[in-house]
Each structure stands twice: as C-alpha cells, then as structure tokens.
C-alpha cells in the first residue's frame, strides 16, 4: 500500500505509542504485542497526529534535525507503518 | 537448584495476572491446573496493586488480566485503573460471560486497552457443549459491544478435534463480528487439556487441512483482520521457544499469589514457587529458586546441551518434558532429536484410537467438582 501524499496521517487509535523508561526507548503497544522503536522511527510517528501530510512531516523533521534529503527514508518507514496498521490516512 | 542466581539483563515485560480461578465456563482444555480447587484463596485488591506497581518498576508493560474468569472479580475496574496510571497496556482475557455494556463502559473509562473474547465454536450447539454453559449468543453480543466501544477486538478460538472441522465457518464468524485479530490457538496439552487429550487431539490430516484454510484466509482478510495461528506442537519437528526462555520475559501470578515463570509451572515438582505476599517482585524475579531454575543452559541434558539450536528454542517446554517423559530436565519430546519423540507419536496414536471408538469416553469438564475428584 502506497501513501497518499494528500492524506493527513494519524497514529492509530488501536495502538499506543509510549516511552518506556526501563528500556530507554519508545514502543508501540497493541493487543498482546509490542514493537520497540529506534529514535528516528519514534520521531516520525510522533508527528502523525492527524494534522500533517507526508510532506509536512518531512519538512518539520528536516527543520528539527537541520538535515536534508530525509524524504525517502521517511516515506519508506511510513509505508511500513501504514501496512502494519500503526498509522491511518485521513 | 539447577540454575544460579544471576544479574542477567532480562527483566519481566509481560505480567499475566490470573485474578481468580472462579469461572462460569467449564472448558475441558482449560490451562488452569487440574487441582485448582486446592488453592481457593485470592489476593486482595491492595496486593494486586502492589504487584502491578513492583512489576512495572522493573519494566513490565504488557498486562494480561486473566483467570478463571477475571470478570468474577468485583474490583476489576479498580485494578485496571491502577494499571493504566502505571502505564501498562492492559488486556482483558475473558469468556465474555456476564460482560454487560455497562461494565464495558466502566472498564473503558478505567483505561482498559483491549478485550479478548473467547468463542468455543462457530455453532451454538457445539459452543455451549464445549463451554459447558449456554453462552454462544451472549458471547456474540459481547463481541459486538467490544467493537462498538472502540476497543481492539480479539477473538480467540481454541482449536481441537471437536471443532477443527468448523475452521472455515470460524473464520467467517470472526470476520462478520468485525474482529481486528483472530487468535486460532491449537490446544496445548497441559492442565485439563492433557487430561482430555484423547478426545481433543486432531489427526495430522485434520490439522493440515484446517491450517491450509486458515492460511488462505489470511490473504483474503489482509489489512482488515490479523490472524494469529498457534501451531499444535505435537505435529512439529522442533519445540516451541517456550516463554521466550525461562525467566526472561514472562511473569505469571496465580490467584493465590504464587509467582510462576510460566502459567503451567505449578505442575512441576520441587520449584518452591514463591508467593508475592512473602517477597517483592524484584526478589522473586532475581533471587528465587523457581525463576532461576531453568535460566541459561547449564541445566540442559543431551541432546540439548550440545545442540546448535539451543539458543533458539531453549530446549522447548519444561512442562511438556515433565508431562510426557516424567523428567523436566529432558529435551522437549516434540523435538525430532529427542530420544523420547516416540512418546508424542504414542500419544497421537492413542488419541486416534479413541476417535475410532464408537462409544467415546466423556470429556472431563473443568469445574470444582471434577477438580476435587482428580486431586
């Protein structure tokens, strides 16, 4: 499933994104399961709050981390996230 | 003690809180110990809250609220609220029996994350027979209410010889009920299921036919419903990586407060499983004899000890080794490298012979009367 560039991306209400102190990382929680996230994946998912499109997420992260050329990596990860049901398109 | 106390990096991630052994259903494959009637005491609300707090501090994050039937605890919402405050992801594992819309709302407000409802079969007649209680239409209503109130809905169907022919209909039912996840759990033969194994174990042909139907259906419902398929390990060549390794991830607390490295470990001899009313969760996890017993691989016998796969499956399941071979240190006999593999084949042959009898021995239903009779 490819991302629609016009959609607003939101974290799925059927999952929970949470910082775990004991593991020192963000995790996604869902029925009887858990995915441990690296820092960049977590930063991307935190911006999926229903107010941003893919391009907006890329711009915001490039600004935040003073970087360029992040679009491919971010798109790839968000497609994985969409296919896993971690995010939804609105 | 087989293992030795250690300061390994493993910390509990999953806490299974078996809140009570009380249950209105009588499923003949229940994973509770067959002698559960000997442990009638239950932890208080305050004890449960303290256990949750202590385990959370160590890093436990997934919480299973199970039983018996956890709805039988009138303080369930209070426990759920405490779990939510601590940051647990809480899973209610229920038969659905007695779950009203009012209570679904109460639990949602308390912060419950997910409800797993078990259904025994795709038809009322078989469901009610296996459950030992009229419950089919009520369970279907509950499944719909769970969805209505915005919970992820997991439908759990335990698969065995009495219902395996319904696989296609079970999948259809789950889809129609709008399940987000369907757990097809082939019966694991411990506790009551072990007692009733001759009547529950399907043939290899039955299991392969049903598995194919389920795998094909996975494609049909991709993106809508996730299917978890728990394999029947009697038909496998390698044992399951039981509990992800002993004392590495899972902590079960039984209704009376006994802490177990797996929910069947109560059946194993000489573990001296500690009680949460005597020790803190930290002491139990790090220092108790029971949680260190099968940690690491020093306890292993051959063929596990020199096996290149020992870090993948940890020798399989200790309870299965004990139930089938009488020695809990043995390689799980499911493994084709086990010198006891023939015991699994004999169990299969015995079950198949029982299936061919014209008059079947009745199932032993899981209830207090039978529990007292057995023990």
C-alpha distances out from residue B365 to B132, B134, B139, B185, Å: 7, 14, 20, 19
| Per-residue pLDDT reduced to its tens digit, A63-90 | 999 999 999 999 999 999 999 999 999 8
**Of B267 and B44, which is predicted with more confidence?**
B44
How many Å apart are CA B1 and CA B293, to the nearest integer?
6
Element containing residue A44 per DSSP (H, E): helix A39-46
- On the CB side of B66, CA atoms within 13 Å amount to 20
Confidence of residue B236 (pLDDT cuts 50, 70, 90): very high
Given an 8 Å threshold on Cβ–Cβ distance, is A16 in contact with B64? no
Spell B262-290 as b/e; 16+ CB within 10 A means b: bbbbbbbeebebbebeebbbeebbbebeb
DSSP A47: T
How many Å apart are CA B120 and CA B40, to the nearest integer?
26
Evaluate if residue B15 carries a pLDDT over 60: yes
Question: Closest approach of chain A CAs to the CA of B223, in angstroms?
Answer: 7
User: How does strand B114-118 pair with strand B153-159?
Assistant: parallel
Residues 6 or more apart whose Cβ sits within 8 Å of residue B304: B297, B310, B315, B331
Tell me if chain A has a CB within 8 Å of the CB of B274. no
C-alpha distances out from residue B46 to B50, B54, B76, B276, Å: 6, 12, 12, 12
pLDDT value, residue B5: 47
Confidence of residue B232 (pLDDT cuts 50, 70, 90): confident
How many Å apart are CA B65 and CA B47, to the nearest integer?
15
Question: Closest approach of chain B CAs to the CA of A6, in angstroms?
Answer: 21
pLDDT value, residue B1: 41
**Number of C-beta neighbours around residue B316 at 10 A:** 24
Mean pLDDT of B281-287: 97
Evaluate if residue B174 carries a pLDDT over 80: yes
Residue in the structure block whose two tokens are 């000997």 = B38
Confidence of residue B251 (pLDDT cuts 50, 70, 90): very high
Helices and strands, number each (H, E), in chain B: 15, 9
User: How does strand B153-159 pair with strand B181-186?
Assistant: parallel
DSSP alpha helices (H): ranges in chain B? 45-58, 76-86, 101-110, 124-131, 136-148, 167-176, 191-195, 197-200, 204-220, 281-287, 289-292, 310-313, 318-325, 341-356, 368-374
B181 CB neighbours in chain A (<8 A) are 31
Evaluate if residue A1 carries a pLDDT over 50: yes
How many Å apart are CA B199 and CA B162, to the nearest integer?
8
pTM recorded for the entire structure: 0.94
Tell me what ipTM this predicted complex has: 0.90
Confidence of residue B375 (pLDDT cuts 50, 70, 90): low
- On the CB side of A57, CA atoms within 13 Å amount to 31
Given an 8 Å threshold on Cβ–Cβ distance, is B154 in contact with A32? yes
Evaluate if residue B295 carries a pLDDT over 70: yes
Residue in the structure block whose two tokens are 């299991």 = B207
Spell B169-182 as b/e; 16+ CB within 10 A means b: ebbebbbebebbbb
| Per-residue pLDDT reduced to its tens digit, B26-52 | 999 999 999 999 999 999 999 999 999
Residue in the structure block whose two tokens are 């419902």 = B221
The shortest CB-CB distance from A14 to any of B13, B64, B180 is to: B180
How many Å apart are CA A41 and CA A27, to the nearest integer?
10
Question: Closest approach of chain B CAs to the CA of A62, in angstroms?
Answer: 31
Going by C-alpha positions, the residue among B28, B114, B18, B26 that lies closest to residue B67 is: B18
| Per-residue pLDDT reduced to its tens digit, B192-229 | 999 999 999 999 999 999 999 999 999 999 888 999 98
Residue A41 preceded by cis peptide, ω within 30: no
Given an 8 Å threshold on Cβ–Cβ distance, is A32 in contact with B13? no
Q: Copy the structure tokens of residue B302.
A: 């051959």
Q: What is the DSSP string of B89-131?
A: EEEEEE--TT--HHHHHHHHHHT--EEEEE---SSHHHHHHHH
Residue in the structure block whose two tokens are 């009779």 = B373
């Amino acid at each position: 499933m490819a991302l629609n560039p016009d959609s607003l991306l939101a974290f799925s209400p059927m999952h929970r994104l949470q910082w775990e102190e004991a593991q020192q990382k963000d995790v996604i929680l869902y029925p009887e399961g858990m995915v441990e996230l690296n820092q960049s994946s977590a930063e991307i998912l935190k911006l999926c709050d229903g107010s941003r499109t893919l391009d907006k997420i890329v711009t915001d992260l490039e600004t935040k981390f003073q970087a360029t050329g992040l679009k491919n990596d971010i798109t790839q990860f968000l497609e994985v996230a969409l296919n896993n049901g971690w995010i939804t398109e609105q | 003690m087989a293992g030795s106390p250690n300061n390994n990096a493993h910390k509990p991630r999953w806490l299974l809180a078996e809140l009570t052994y009380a249950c209105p259903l009588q499923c003949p494959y229940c994973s509770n110990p067959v002698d559960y009637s000997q442990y009638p005491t239950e932890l208080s609300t305050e004890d449960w809250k303290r256990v949750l707090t202590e385990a959370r501090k160590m890093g436990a994050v997934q919480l299973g609220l199970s039983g018996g039937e956890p709805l039988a605890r009138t303080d369930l919402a209070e426990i759920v609220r405490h779990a939510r405050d601590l940051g647990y992801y809480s899973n209610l594992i229920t038969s659905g029996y007695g779950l009203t819309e009012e209570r679904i709302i109460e639990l949602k407000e308390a912060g419950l994350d997910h409800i797993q409802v078990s259904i025994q079969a795709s038809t009322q007649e078989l469901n009610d027979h296996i459950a030992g209680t009229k419950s089919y239409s009520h369970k279907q209503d509950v499944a719909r209410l769970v969805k209505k109130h915005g919970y992820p809905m997991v439908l759990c169907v335990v698969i065995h010889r009495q219902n395996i022919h319904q696989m296609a209909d079970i999948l259809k039912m789950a889809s129609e009920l709008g399940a987000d996840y369907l757990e097809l759990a082939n019966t694991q033969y411990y506790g009551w299921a072990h007692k009733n194994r001759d009547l529950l174990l399907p043939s290899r042909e039955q299991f392969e036919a049903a598995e194919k139907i389920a795998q094909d259906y996975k494609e049909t419902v991709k993106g809508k419903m996730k299917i978890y398929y728990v394999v029947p390990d009697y038909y496998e060549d390698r044992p399951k990586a039981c509990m992800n390794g002993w004392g590495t991830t899972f902590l079960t607390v039984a209704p009376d407060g006994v802490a177990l490295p797996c929910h069947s470990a109560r059946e194993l001899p000489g573990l001296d499983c500690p009680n949460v009313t005597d020790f803190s969760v930290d002491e139990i996890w790090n220092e108790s004899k029971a949680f260190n017993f099968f940690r690491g691989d020093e306890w292993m016998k051959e063929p596990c000890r020199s096996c290149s796969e020992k870090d993948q499956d940890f020798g399989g399941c200790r309870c299965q080794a004990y139930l089938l071979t009488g020695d809990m240190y043995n390689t799980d006999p499911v493994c084709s490298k086990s010198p006891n593999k023939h015991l699994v084949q004999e169990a299969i042959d015995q079950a198949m012979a029982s299936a061919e009898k014209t008059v079947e021995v009745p199932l032993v239903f899981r209830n207090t009367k039978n529990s007292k009779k057995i023990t």
